[in-house]
Amino acid sequence: MTDCLDSWAILRWLEGVEPAASRVDATLASRPVMSWINLGEVAYIVERLAGTARSRQIVRELQHQLSLDLPTEARVLEASHIKAAYAIAYADAFAIATAIAHDCTLLTGDPEILNGDPTWRTLDLRA
């Protein structure tokens, strides 16, 4: 695995927002890694916008396209450490911690992540 996705990437893909959607679509062929925390974030946002049935359908479909990471104690503590050090959302800290743990590049367009620690391997999906 070389890529990791956060909720920003998946939400833009679902919305068809370019250039993010095409890049995520191409990445899905290689089963990128994603934290269950971030998939949960996608689920609640979709449920608010389109209802429970649509949210559950998307989660079922993505389970076959992603390599989902169930956070371990070590991942929770790493995400907590990242959250303590940077002004970012807790779910974003899980995306970063997951990418680091799997030695992946995090594909995102989230400015909080992209403007964070320059040692984080990220790819800006907005450009």
| Fold exhibited by the domain 3-124 | Rossmann fold (3.40.50)
Strand-strand pairing, 122-124 and 67-69: unpaired
> How far is residue 103 from each of residues 13, 113, 126, measured CA to CA in Å?
23, 16, 22
pLDDT in tens, 93-115: 999 999 999 999 999 999 999 99
pLDDT higher than threshold 70 for residue 1: no
* pTM: predicted TM-score of the whole model, two decimal places: 0.94
The domains of the chain are located at 3-124
Q: Which two tokens stand for residue 84?
A: 């303590």
Interatomic CA distance for residues 39 and 84, integer angstroms: 22
pLDDT higher than threshold 90 for residue 2: no
pLDDT in tens, 16-54: 999 999 999 999 999 999 999 999 999 999 999 999 999
CB 112, CB 11: distance < 8 Å: no
Q: What is Dmax (Cα atoms) for the chain?
A: 39
